[in-house]
Chain A
Amino acid sequence: MEIATAPASKAFGPPVSPRSVAQAMARPSRFGDKAFEWLTFAMALTVAVLVVLIGWELWHGSVLAIKKFGFHFLVTSTWDPVADQFGALPFIYGTLVSSLIALLIAVPLGIATAAYLTELAPLWIRQPLVSLIEMLAAIPSVILGLWGIFVMIPWLRDYPFAWLKRLFGWTPLFGGPIYGPCMLAGGIIIAVMILPIITSVSREILRSVPDLQREAAYGLGATRWEATRIAVLSYAKKGLFGAVILGLGRALGETMAVTMVIGNTPQIVASLFQPGYTLASVLANEFTEATTDIYLQALFEIGLVLFGITILVNLLAQLLLRTIATTSATRAVQ
C-alpha cells in the first residue's frame, strides 16, 4: 500500500523527500537499519542535550550566588571580590553599549555592502569581494585583538579620537582624557568582527528577493538606486532586521578582541573615551583568579546572564530569518 502511493506522489506532486521514498522501501525488521537509525538519532539529539546542559551547568554553578545576591546582582554596580561584593551592572552596561556602538557602525556598512554585492556592483567584482569578506570572517578574534592593541588603538588615539574630541568634546559622550583602550575602541573592534556575518546574511536575504520585484521597478523607469531602494531593500526589510539581530547576538558574546582593547575597568560613565568592561571579558580575565567559592559563583552567574541574553537574541534572530526564508521561498515557487 505504502509502496504503491510513494511513486505516484513522486510522479505528480512536488519532489518527494529522500525520507519518504526510503521509508516506503526499507524493511524495518533489519537490525542494522534500526541500530543505525538510533545511533544517528542519538547524535542528532546531542544538540538538544547541549542546550539543556549549558543552562543547567551555569545555573548549578551559580546557585549560591543567585540565592545570596538575588535580583540585586543585576542592578548593583560594585564589583569588589575582596569585600565579596558582586554586582553585574557595569558589565551588562559595557556589553550593551559596546554592542550598540558596533551595530551603529556595522549595520549601515554591512547592508550597503550587501546591496552593492547583489544590486549595484559590476558582475566581475562580486565574487572576489565575497571571498575577501569570507576571509575577514576567518580571522581569529585574538589576532584582531593583537592588531587592535598595537596598530588600531595608537592610530585611533592620534587621529579620529583627537578629532572627535575637538569637535564634540563639549558633549559628555566624548569628554575627558583619551587613554587609548576604551569603550569606543571596543565597539569598533566588535564592528569589525560582526561585519562579515551581517554582510553575508544580508546578501543572502537580498538575493532571495524575487527578480520580478526588480523587473517591475525597472519597467516603471526606475534608476538602479531607485529599484534597489523601493523594490529590493524595502521588500527585504524584515529579513535585514533578522540579519542585524543575528549580528547583535555575535556582538554580545564577542570576547577576545574586546577584552584586549576595551580597557577592562568596571565603571558606568558617559564618556566613550573611558575604559569599560563586558560580561565576556570579565569571564576571560577573572575566571582563573577566582579564589573564593562565592567569587567563582558570581562569575558563573555572569556566564548565565550572558548565555540568557545571547540565547534570547539568537532565538529572535532565527525566528525572523526563518519566517523570511519560508515566505520568500513560497513566493518564489508561486
Chain B
Amino acid sequence: MTTFVFRNQTVEPFFGYDGMAYSGYGDISVVPADADRYIWFYQVPVNADSGRLAEELDSYRDRLDLVLSSVDSGKQFIVFTLVNTFVLRLAGNETAVAESVAEFNRHAAQLAMSRPNVKLVDFSEFTSRYDAATLLDWKYYLMSQTLLNPKLARDFQAWWQRLEGELALMRKKCLVLDLDNTLWGGVLGEDGIDGIKLGGDYPGKAYTYWQQALLQLSGMGVILAVCSKNNEADVLEAWSQNPNMVLRGENFSARRINWQDKATNLRELAAELNIGLDSMVFVDDNPAERELIRQMLPQVEVPDFPAKPYQLMPFFKQLVEKYFRIYQVTAEDRAKAEQYRANAMRQAEQSRFADMESYLYSLDLQLDIMPADSHNLPRIAQMTQKTNQFNLTTRRYNEADVRQRLEAGWHIYCMSVSDRFGDNGITATMFLEDVDDVTVNIDTLLLSCRILGKGIEEAFFKTVLNLLRLDGYRRVTADYLPTAKNGQTSDFFDRMGMTCVSTAPDGAKHYEMELNQVCEIKNYYNIRVL
C-alpha cells in the first residue's frame, strides 16, 4: 500500500517514510498512477505580500482540480483543509489571505460532496489545539520548510492514526441517551413538565443547544435511542407538552423508559434495532449507571458525562470526533435513521398476521438487483467494511479494491430493498469470481442486518445464481469463514442446498453445488434485475 502526498512543504516527519511517497514541493506534474491512495496536504506558505499570497492560494484550487481529473476516481483521495499558521496583517482590515483560505476550503468541501473518492480532513481540528508559537517553529521552517513544528510529529501521528481509522468507516451507529440531567436539567418525576430545565436562560439554554446538536447528528444518520428510569407516560407527556423540547418521541428510533436495569434495556435496544452492542455509545449523567454498563456490557462505549451543563457542547464535539464523524455522508446514511424507525413499526405489524407468509405478502417487498457500477460502488465498499453479522466471509474491501475486482471480470451485484414502509436502499452485495468457464466462486455475500428476517437473503442468492446459470455457468463454490459475529450464517449454504465438502479445524467450510436447474424463489417478492 503506497500513499502519495501532494504537498508544498516538508511533511515527512509527520507522515513518515514507510509506504509513503511525496511530490516535489508544490509540484503536480508527476501523478503516479501506481499509488493506492493520495493525500493533498498543502498549507499556507509564508509571504509578507498578502496580495501575492492570496493569488498563490487561489492557484491551489486549480492545481487540486487538475490532479483530481488525472487520478483514478476509484482511489481514495484525502484533502486537508488549509490553515493559516502564521497570520500577518499589515493593515487591520486586510482579509485577502483569509478569504482565499476560506475559498479553498469551501471548494474542497464541494469536491468531497460531489466525488465519492474524495474525503475532506479538517486540519484545523488538529491545529486548534495549539497556540501560534507552538504550531510554527521558525527555526525549523527556515532550515527545512516544515510549516508545522516537528515537535508536534508524535501528536500529529496519533491524531492521523485515529483519522485513518475513521476514514475506514469504523464509526458507531447508535447513541443511547438518558433523560433526567442528561437531555434536560432536573428530574422529570420531581420537577414536573414545566419544572425541568430546558430553554430560557442558563442552564436550560445549554440543554437546548445540546438537543439541537443531537438532532443534527440524527439527521446525519446516527440512530438516537432513549434508555431512562422514568414513568413512560410522564416522558411522553413532557415530549408533547413542554414547548422547549427539541428532541421528541419521533426523533428516537427506539426507547426503553422503565425501571428495569439499563444493561438489560441496552441488550433489548440492540436487538430491536438489529445492531451490535459494539455499535452503541451510552450517555448517562449517573456514574453508577455508567459503571454498570462498563462492567456488564464492555462492548458498549461509555464516555464520562460533563459535570456542568455549560460543558455539554464541547462534550458533543468530543462525541462526534470520537465516535460519529462522517466523512462522506451517503444518501444511504441520511435515510438510515428513518429506516430503523420504519423497522420498529414493521415489528409491530408482524403480530397482526396469522403467519409469516401472509405478512410477507402484505409488505409489497420490492427487490432490485443490479450489477456494481460507479454510483453504487462506494456503498458496496462501505457495506463490506461495516457488515459483521450476515457476512459469510467478512472480507473488507475499499472502493479501489472493489473497482479492481470489477475490472478483473468479477461478477459483483448489489440489491436495493423497499417495501410499503419505506426504501431501505442498497443493503446487500455478492461478489463472484470465475474459477473456470463454467464455475464461479462466491467470494463475498452479505446483507445488512436491517433487512434480515424476510427470506430476502435466499431470494438474493437464488436470483444471482439464476442469472449466472443463464450466462452458462453450471457450478458454484463457496466458503463460510467463521468470525466472532457471523455465527447466524454458519448453515446458510447448507440451507441453500449446497454440499459441504470440507471443514477446516477453525470451522471454515467449503461448499459446492451444481447449477443444473433454476432455483425456485418464493413469489411474495417483486424481483427486478436492472
Q: Do A and B bind each other?
A: no
A-binding residues in B (CB < 8 A): none
